């Protein structure tokens, strides 16, 4: 039977793990490879690294992290953050990433998604969508794509954009609600559901997990096929296995291999 | 003794090589694992692994672009009968023909075609991406000591196409995704998995270890 995926996400800066609240106040929380090994052992279904290294000189640190992770963990790994060229993708895949997530580069130039998918296959091209609600209370729900960590409004409708990148070859959508990210108030369920129901490829719900029940909501009500979370796991509030057992008890199909 | 992992420009050989090295070390069947694009090395290998990520047509082109590689594979696997393991598109290439991005000939080792998956439930997403259990159709040495069935271990899949084998006797295991999907094919000294053993944690490492001691 096909199972729901639980994906811990590690924000990595200069080769170290960090997690911010609404992308500010970053905290250092250790070696990404050690964290990856721990998540592997805890039964994570995939792992996601988001590279938020700003300085150009330190961009190569992520390749080392990915290489060392792939040597130690035999689980699927998605890497995103600053992926702008076909060569960036090739390097990450060569180091051992299975999927690469593209964000701003796809907003800036949609053809990049097509080039990447044609080169490496749809299955390894994830498009990360950062969306924020722009409709007023009482209006029909509408979300737009935001870039620069939620600061820059693009005017692009999130649902139309999701349909477009999928038609260009995105094999999966990593959907983050910028309204919810870091708030611990749960995924934006109407957003998740609107996107998941609009496209044929899997959607990973992201942004806002505060409780294990939120993860159930993301799948059951948001129609996502996978849930991504960071701080709830990363600061030890819950283990990945606890989350999966909880979701299993809630009636979702979970992989609980020993 | 050596295991050749064929490098023909189809990404992610690093994880495959590391998984084979670890399985070799931990299972007590330690043997050199070589990632190679040299047909000579493939021809001399005792075991051959053909990985593959991407589209069928691109992978076939990648193999064709290395002079002598198809011949080396034919010689080692088909004539000398060395154990062969195809992974994902590497497994699909064993078929007669692929229908992804046009019609492309495969190696023709397992009668059948590679075509788009079509789950009966329209709500199921494509690609089939994630963890699924395996249902065994016939016993195979590679499945020794691996718990299968609905309560068994899981394998990691990422694909939109599957090998539809013409002969049921070539099917070793299936996964269920809105209907049965080909998960493992096997014939004589050849085996192929649609899923990624190098990403399938316990099940994957055990399967690889079983391959490394397989004497068909």
Among candidates B30, B26, B22, B31, which has minimal Cα distance to B2? B31
Distance CA B78, CA A251 (A): 48
Locus of tokens 């049965």: B180
Q: Does the annotation count B29 as an active-site position?
A: no
Whether B198 is a known active-site residue: answer yes
Output the pLDDT for position A33.
Answer: 86
Query: Which among A45, A94, A201 has CB closest to B126?
Result: A201
Model confidence pLDDT, tens digit, residues B174-214: 999 999 999 999 999 999 999 999 999 999 999 999 999 99
Q: Read off the tokens for A201.
A: 């490829």
**E strands, A134-182, where?**
143-147, 152-157, 172-177
pTM: 0.93
Residue A235 CA to residue A91 CA, distance in Å, equals 31
> B100-152: per-residue pLDDT in tens?
878 999 999 999 999 999 999 988 999 999 999 999 999 999 999 999 999 99
* Per-residue pLDDT tens digits for B143-160: 999 999 999 999 999 999
Query: CA-CA distance, B54 to B121, in Å (whole number)?
Result: 25
Q: Is B58 within 8 Å of A202 when comparing Cβ atoms?
A: no
Largest CA distance in chain B: 48
**Of A190-204, B20-34, B35-49, the least confident:** B20-34
DSSP B168-195: GGGEEEEEESSSEEEEEEEETTEEEESS
Residue B197 · residue B19 · CB < 8 Å: yes
Which residues of A are part of the catalytic machinery?
Answer: 11, 130
Q: What is the pLDDT of residue A26?
A: 36
Does residue B39 surpass a pLDDT of 70?
Answer: yes
Q: List the structure tokens of B202.
A: 């316990």
Quote the percentage of chain B above a pLDDT of 90. 87
State whether residue B19 sits within 8 Å of chain A by CB.
yes
**What pLDDT sits at residue B107?**
98
Cα separation, A229 vs A220, in Å, equals: 16
Asked if residue A69 lies in contact with residue A35, where contact means CB atoms within 8 angstroms, the answer is no
Q: What pLDDT was estimated at residue A29?
A: 52
C-alpha closest to that of A176 among A133, A213, A216, A141: A133
H helices of B78-130, where? 89-92
Cβ within 8 Å of B, A 48-107: 67, 70-71, 74-76, 90, 93-99
Cβ–Cβ of B201/A74 closer than 8 Å?
Answer: yes
d(CA A175, CA A224): 9
Q: What is the pLDDT of residue A102?
A: 97
Residue ranges for chain A with pLDDT beneath 70: 19-29
Active site residue B88: yes
Give the Cα separation of A228 and A207 in Å (integer).
Answer: 8
Residue A28: the pLDDT is 44
For residue B169, is pLDDT > 80? yes
Contact yes or no for B156 and A75 at CB 8 A: yes
Q: Provide the strand spans (E) within chain B.
A: 3-6, 33-36, 47-50, 84-87, 97-98, 104-105, 112-116, 128-133, 135-136, 154-159, 161-165, 171-176, 180-187, 190-193
Q: Count of CB atoms within 10 A of residue B71's CB?
A: 12
CB atoms within 10 A of CB B195: 28
- Determine the distance from the C-alpha atom of residue B69 to the mean position of all C-alpha atoms in its chain, rounded to a whole number: 17
Omega before A126 cis (within 30°)?
Answer: no
- List all residues 6 or more positions away from A155 whose beta carbon is below 8 Å from its beta carbon: A144
DSSP state of A124: G
Strand partners, A27: A19
Residue A81: closest CA among A9, A172, A143: A9
Strands B128-133 and B154-159: antiparallel
Q: Shortest Cα distance from A172 to chain B (angstroms)? A: 8
């Amino acid at each position: 039977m096909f199972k729901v995926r639980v994906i811990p996400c590690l924000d990595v800066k200069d080769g170290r793990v960090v997690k911010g609240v609404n992308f500010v106040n970053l905290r250092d929380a250790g070696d990404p490879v050690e964290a990856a090994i721990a998540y592997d052992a805890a039964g994570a279904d995939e792992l996601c690294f988001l590279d938020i290294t700003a300085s150009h000189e330190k961009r190569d640190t992520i390749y080392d992290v990915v290489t060392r992770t792939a040597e130690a963990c035999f689980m699927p790994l998605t890497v995103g953050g600053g992926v702008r060229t076909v060569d960036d993708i090739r390097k990450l895949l060569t180091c051992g990433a299975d999927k690469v997530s593209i964000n701003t580069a796809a907003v800036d130039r949609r053809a990049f998604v097509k080039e990447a998918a044609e080169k490496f296959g749809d299955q390894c091209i994830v498009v990360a969508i950062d969306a924020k609600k722009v409709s007023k209370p009482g209006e029909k729900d509408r979300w737009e794509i935001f870039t620069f960590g939620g600061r820059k409004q693009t005017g692009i409708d999130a649902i139309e954009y999701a349909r477009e990148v999928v038609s260009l070859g995105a094999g999966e959508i990593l959907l983050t609600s910028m309204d919810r990210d870091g708030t611990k108030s749960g995924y934006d369920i109407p957003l998740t559901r609107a996107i998941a129901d609009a496209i044929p490829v899997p959607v990973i719900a992201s942004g806002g997990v505060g409780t294990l029940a939120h993860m159930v909501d993301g799948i059951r009500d948001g129609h996502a096929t996978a849930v991504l979370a960071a701080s709830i796991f990363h600061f030890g509030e819950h283990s990945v296995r606890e989350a999966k057992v909880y979701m299993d008890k809630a009636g979702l199909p979970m992989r609980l291999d020993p | 003794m050596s295991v050749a992992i064929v490098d023909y420009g189809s990404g992610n050989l690093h994880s495959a090589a590391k998984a084979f090295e670890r399985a070799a070390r931990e299972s007590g069947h330690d043997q050199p694992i070589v990632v190679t694009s040299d047909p000579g090395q493939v021809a001399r290998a005792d075991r051959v692994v053909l990985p593959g990520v991407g589209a069928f047509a691109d992978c076939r082109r990648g193999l064709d672009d290395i002079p002598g590689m198809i011949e080396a594979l034919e010689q080692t696997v088909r004539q000398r009968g060395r154990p062969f393991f195809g992974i994902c598109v590497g497994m699909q290439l064993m078929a007669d023909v692929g229908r992804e991005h046009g019609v492309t000939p495969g190696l023709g080792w397992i009668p059948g075609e590679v075509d788009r998956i079509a789950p009966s439930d329209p709500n199921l997403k494509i690609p089939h991406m994630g963890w699924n259990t395996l249902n065994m159709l016939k016993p195979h040495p590679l499945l020794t000591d691996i718990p299968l069935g609905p309560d068994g271990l899981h394998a990691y899949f990422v694909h939109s196409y599957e090998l539809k084998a013409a002969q049921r006797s070539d099917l070793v295991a299936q996964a269920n995704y809105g209907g049965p999907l080909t998960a493992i094919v096997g014939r004589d000294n050849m085996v192929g998995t649609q899923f990624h053993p190098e990403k399938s944690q316990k099940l994957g490492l055990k399967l690889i270890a079983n391959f490394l001691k397989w004497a068909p």
